[in-house]
Amino acid sequence: MMRHLQRVFNLRRYSRGMGDERSRRMEPEHRPAGLDRWVGMWVAIKDGEVIAAAHNSRDLVPAVRSKGAKGEGAVAQFVPRRTDDIVIGVG
């Protein structure tokens, strides 16, 4: 019985915390202005420089591999419009 009450109490506390997270205002996106020219594309970034770009992640992989050693360690990310709320990154 005590375990059941503890689970109910924890569930209620957890769900209340979720409500607080949803109401919290998201911080504006911080990204270099140089990425604005790649809006709607997937880019590979290394040392703060775009080394490859493609319209989808599937085409980005061969573009990065063709760079050889220069492409090793690059981070891939999608560049959304500044009005999008969700940022998707793969790295």
**Which one, of 74, 77, 81, lies nearest residue 40 by Cα?**
81
pTM for the full model? 0.58
* Among 17-21, 25-29, 63-67, the least confident range: 17-21
The Cα 57–Cα 76 span in angstroms is 8
pLDDT in tens, 4-16: 556 655 655 555 5
The confidence score (pLDDT) of residue 90 equals 65
Q: Where are the domains of the chain?
A: 36-80
